[in-house]
Amino acid sequence: MHNQTFLALSCAIPEEEQDLFIGCISDLNFSGIEQSYDTMTILLDEQDCPKDIEELLSLIATNHSISFSIIDRQIIKHQNWNKEWEESLEPIIVSDRIAITPEWKKDEVHHPMTIIINPQMAFGTGYHPTTRMVCRELQERVQPGTSWIDAGCGSGVLAILAVKLGAKSIYAFDNDEWSVQNAKDNCILNSITNIHIDQADIFTVDLGKVDGIAANMYRNLIIPNLSRFHDALSESKGILILSGILSMDEAEIILAATSKRFKHIVTHQEGDWVSITLVAI
């Protein structure tokens, strides 16, 4: 592991177009991304990345009318980039009731529903608009005593929040081993015991029957699983909250969902990202 080498591509890309570009390259197996004003560094495993990766990134940017150029290319050895990132995290105020804070900043936050996380490598720190939008929708939709699924749970923020909002049971899963362990650790930090967490694949996991599903994942995972989401929610006429979606994909996803017997309730948008809330009919 520590002999691993990475290709670091520094790219010039306007700050307002960076989230869009990240969504467009979500299918690529990159190891990390560092964003700063009008530049972005994409980290890829040198052994596994396509030989034509630079041409591929340029083509993706061109196809989506994104201003893009590669300004530097380096081969670097493995190091603990995540440690420096963790230490820079500050509490995130989601709403007047909800805050997300790293463990080492918990004494600075006093919201009624404060979620304590040790983020490690998992997605779901609250810094991304998709996480914040789903949190706000959960605040509106979770009813006491209901059962929910957190699909693609990352750090477990959404599952933990659902419990704090009164859900009686949560099934959370992710296909990433790091995320699953991190979510379990974060449940302990928040003294939460009624979340069952598995390492599982969205295409094969048994969803069971529930009252609500929060799925913060990309469109290529959402659309093929809409029928399965509906099966899980059909008896309860339950709520489906989708995010991880670029605004340009909103119409396609709503159309696909309504064809699977969902009714669109509301869409929220932050920057280039949206959350979509639907109900099974």
Say what the pTM is. Answer: 0.74
Tell me phi and psi for residue 213, to 5 degrees: -135, 130
pLDDT at 35: 79
Residue-wise burial string across 53-92, b where 16 or more C-beta atoms lie within 10 A, e elsewhere: beeebbebbeebebebebeeeeeeeeeeeeeeebeebebb
pLDDT at 3 over 80: no
Look at residues 215, 280, 218, 221 and name the one whose alpha carbon lies nearest to residue 248.
Answer: 218
With beta carbons less than 8 A apart as the criterion, state whether 124 and 156 touch: yes
Ordered by where they begin, the domains of the chain are: 5-79 (3.30.70.260), 84-280 (3.40.50.150)
C-alpha separations of 237 from 90, 173, 178, 230, 268 in Å: 38, 22, 33, 9, 21
pLDDT tens digits, one per residue of 92-120: 889 999 999 988 888 888 999 999 988 66
Q: At what angle do helices 157-164 and 129-141 cross, to 10 degrees?
A: 20
pLDDT at 17: 86
How far, rounded to the nearest angstrom, does the alpha carbon of residue 181 sit from its chain's CA centroid?
16
Average pLDDT over residues 133-141: 97
Q: Is 239 left (phi over 0), alpha (psi -120 to 50) or beta?
A: beta
Task: Name the band, by pLDDT with cuts 50, 70 and 90, for residue 33.
Answer: confident
